[in-house]
Structure 1
Amino acid sequence: MADKIGVGIIGVAPGRSWAAISHIPALRALPDYDIVALSTTRMESAQAAAEEFGVASAYDNHDDLVNDPAVDLVVVTVKVPHHLELVTAAIEAGKHVYCEWPLGNGLEEAERMAELARKKGVTAAVGMQARSAPIFRYLKDLVDEGYVGEVLSVTLIGSGMNWGPAVDQPNAYTFDKANGATMLSIPVGHTLDAVCYCLGEISEVGALLANRRTDAVLVPDNTPLKLTAEDQVIVNATFASGAVGAIHYRGGVSRGTNMLLEINGTEGDIVISGIAGHAQMFPMTISGGRGEDQAVAPLEVPDKYRWTPKLEDFAQNVAQAYALLASDIREGTSECPTFDDAVIRHKLLDAIEKSAAAGERRTV
């Protein structure tokens, strides 16, 4: 491999796509990478994106991109229903892969991709970048070092922002549960992954999923739209450690709490809060108190947990993940979340869905 890892990105729309506002600035900020190719479904849009971002090669199909000899790493940033096809093509071409989360449209697809990546021996990373965020790296160390003592309980409240009364066209597909990009899979999945990274896995769940809103509108024209993805997620969780958890996510936004993670232990408490329930995207603050403290007070995240340049919010945690991935590709490590990590998280979400459907607790 050359000094820089050649990156080909599938799914770039100038100015508005997730790739444009997070992946491209993240990759540009790191000396390990060179964006050498991109593809969309139309040559006109591909060439426009290549011109805007200064990328040498533009393709109107993914096959040409994954077979470009300059591409070492294929980044998949399209809608969830297309992940299986595109990731499979990249792995079959012998390329390393970074795929956005959710990895698959359900557990079965995720397992198929993880098995193929192991068989072909490629580095396969998934975009669960919340666990790379400085605040969660710091939280993990605080817990591991005994700041709160034994963790007794966990409370998590979040607003999905989406899955409310209105949605714009780029996000409209998330309102259809069949597409696999739901409030459960995206903000709940991302945030629970970070929580489990810090506190250990959840072993048992009792869940309730509900559609309190079934009708929404597509803005700006207020076209009627059905909401089939649940806008209420409630989970009663037991962690492998014995700690218990109460989780509630709701669609849209609240005039009150939009992100709260509270960890209560035998020796102390930690509180993380933010403006939205997407731990992977938005900035958060952390407070703590222990021993004789009568209340929590702000904690400063040490600089050692930030190993990338300061970037805009959406790109920051993505850059943190890409920094880990560069080392994984070169050294064979697994610091960036892998497809196997994604399968573990898909299993948790699958257990939540099955618990809600059956009306009984499920082992993960």
Structure 2
Amino acid sequence: MKVGIVGASFARAAYLPALRHVPGAEVVAIASGRIDSAQSAAEAFGVPAAYDDWRVMLDKHALDLVLIATPTDLHAPITLAALDKGAHVLCEKPTAMNAGEATAMLDKAEALGRLHMIDHELRFNPDRAKIADMIRNGDLGDIRHVNIANIGSSWANPGGRPRGDWWSLSEHGGGRLGANGSHQVDLLRWWLGPAASVVGQALTIIPDRQDKATGEPWTATADDLAHFTLEMASGALAQVFMSGVAANNIGNLVQVFGSKGTILLDERLLFSKEGGGFEDISVPDPNAALPGLNKGIWNVSLVAALRELADAIASGRKLQQGATFFDGLANQIVLDAVKQSTTRRAWIDLPKERR
């Protein structure tokens, strides 16, 4: 299986180490906006070809799979071009700049019969998969409400990021809502089913910034704090709060409240039956011990995601696990609605999901 990658930074941190543990996968080319970045990643992992133009890479190689880890504004154009060239596609989150682009990606992939996955790798994390199983098995009873908090300090220092950092620019699709909120929306939909309505805000708390190397002033336009409440079609309520401007890293906390029990997920997965104490039911990830992987659930969970996609390609079957472009579109519609809610200061009703 010939693999091409667009986006060298995430490739070096996550894709390339994970692909060493995916049977049949051969990375033949990598592209980046900077040729030195592409060449450095290629040399470190023995990739034969490096480019500073993804279009040239797609023209020169017959690829079975293209992995896309670029700023969000490039997701749709690269995806559409890769699909036209005959490749299956894994695209990073958020899916696209808006639901219109996400729809075009889905429509083309389906029309051409290509496999499509959004890299919501947390679906392959054993603890989060166990939550999904427990909800479906009725271990928690009816889910009444869910709280998710993700608090960090990566945007807290006005002089801590480089000028032009795309993660801080709305015109490139940056911001906490897309970077982390997309994962949370995907998990909630996976666990609880479709979302019916949403209210929330995507806010830029620290717009005035200075380049971390030169001190030159610049303006951040993407959200560094976002929060929203989802009303699920099931009737459950889910609240998500994400901040990158706290003084300290608190990390991620998930609380799931059902009629028969409660789940807490922090560093450990804890479960309490109604009226009882909490028991540690954490599930270790067997891929965590694989050599060469960078630490963290994102990098470890990616191995299982890529194995599922690679096996589906090799076997000529549909995906049995993971988030597809159908999910990517549904997630994007929620993100778009949060932005609408920010402006309108109102609940936004969501359309029925495509399947």
Give TM-score, length-normalised by structure 1: 0.86
1:172 counterpart (160, 165, 168): 165
CA 1:148/1:42 → structure 2, altered by over 3 Å: closer, same or farther? closer
Change (3 A) 1:48 1:20: closer
Paired residues of 1:11 and 1:40 also in contact (CA < 8 A): yes
Partner of 2:3 in structure 1?
7
Q: Note if 1:298 corresponds to 2:280.
A: yes
Which stretch shows the higher mean deviation, 94-103 or 166-175? 166-175
**AA aligned opposite 1:148:** L
Structure 1 counterpart of 2:235, from 234, 237, 242: 242
- Give 1:308 deviation, angstroms: 7.7
Stretches of structure 1 lacking an aligned partner (at least 5 in a row) = 274-283
1:143 aligns with 2:135: yes
Who is 1:65 aligned against? Answer: 57
Q: Distance in 2 between matches of 1:82 and 1:76?
A: 9
Partner of 2:32: 40
User: Counterpart in 1 of 2:316?
Assistant: 331
Superposition deviation, residue 143 in structure 1:
1.4
What CA distance in whole angstroms lies between the structure 2 residues aligned with 1:226 and 1:170? 8
Answer yes or no: is 1:216 the counterpart of 2:209: yes
**Contact 2:153–2:249, Cα closer than 8 Å, also in 1:** no
Matched, 1:23 2:19: no
Contact kept, 8 Å, 1:205 with 1:236, in 2: the verdict is yes
Could you tell me which amino acid in structure 1 is paired with residue 282 of structure 2?
Answer: E
Residue by residue, what CA displacement relative to the aligned partner does 1:85-136 show, whole Å, maximum 9, x if unpaired? 2112111111111111122112211111111111221112211112221221
Aligned ranges for residues 112-191 of structure 1 at < 5 Å? 112-166=104-158, 167-169=160-162, 172-191=165-184
Secondary structure at the residue paired with 2:231?
A: strand
Flag the 1:286–1:339 CA change in 2: closer, same or farther, 3 A.
Answer: same
Aligned CA RMSD, in angstroms, stands at 2.3
Q: Distance in 2 between matches of 1:156 and 1:45?
A: 35
Residue in 2 aligned with 1:226? 219
Residue type at the aligned position of 2:151 = S
Report the AA paired with residue 84 of structure 1: A
Q: 2:269 aligns with which of 271, 278, 286?
A: 286
Match of 1:345 among 331, 335, 348: 331
CA change 1:236–1:39 in 2 (3 A) is closer
- Counterpart of 1:194 in structure 2 is 187
Q: What code does the residue aligned with 1:300 have?
A: S
Distance 1:64 1:206 in 2: 43
* Displacement after TM superposition at 1:169 (Å): 3.1
Structure 2 residue 244 is matched with structure 1 residue 262? no
Q: Distance in 2 between matches of 1:73 and 1:18?
A: 16
The 3-state SS of whatever aligns with 1:22 is helix
* CA distance in 2: counterparts of 1:86 and 1:262, whole angstroms: 37
C-alpha contact (below 8 Å) 1:36/1:70 kept by paired residues: no
Contact 1:163/1:229, CA 8 A, preserved across alignment: no
- 8 Å CA contact 1:159, 1:254 repeated in 2: no
Say if 2:303 is the partner of 1:319. Answer: yes
Using the size of structure 2 for normalisation, the TM-score is: 0.88
Contact 1:65 1:71 in 2 (8 A): no
CA distance in 2, matches of 1:116, 1:33: 24
Would the alpha carbon gap of residues 317 and 161 (structure 1) be closer, same or farther in structure 2, given more than 3 Å must change?
Answer: farther
Indicate if the aligned counterparts of 1:152 and 1:244 stay in contact, CA closer than 8 A. yes
Deviations 1:162-201 (A, max 9, x none): 4333443398211112221211111111122122212222
Q: Which runs of 5+ in 2 are unaligned?
A: 351-355
